[in-house]
Structure 1
């Protein structure tokens, strides 16, 4: 989800919030046009701290840590791991909406 910054100080919606809403609508209409589904995940989804192999969530991790090792033995690049987890979350939501069952990764 795209968050808004506080750059508007006159009581009106900030320009960033306006752009974020417009971007969300644009993505939604493009997905509809191409017969795709758009799934939004929560702002606090632990995508980069969630092991894409075993599902364990790492403790607090500062942003300067770019790679980390899970106790299961997997070594993750933070951005690649987040991309895998976000894709899996979107697929799980899509399968739930279609009535399929979602099983945790083995």
Structure 2
């Protein structure tokens, strides 16, 4: 029995805090050995569990694939597959609008503090959308292929191009 935390019926008991009812993203495959509580700048809390699982090596097929990264289509694969990236432009416009509002607001005011939380929330929405897309795509590619070849890009040099920098940065590649 760990004194720091325990899990019963979907509720998590944390020492010095008490019982909390999290929203589970998935079931834990085994008993967790440790727990980390994370708070982000948008006042969201996350529980991160460390669990031990056995790797499943038989599911990977013995294939190889080459991947070319782009802007209009996120990836073009050697097996003639194309993947379109999600559109981040609407969230980007909202972030830029809030950034202007934040720059014009008076320091240490209630309105500025509210705008800071909205700004952080929008940033997190964009980051979560990007991470979700990249994670799902990488899992799909890894589970179907044994050898993966990517092109070597100089992203820091490409971002210096004023016309393409925003689009390249929004891709998150």
TM-score, normalised with respect to structure 1:
0.35
TM-score, normalised with respect to structure 2:
0.24
Max Rg structure: 2
Identify, as 1 or 2, the structure richer in strand: 2
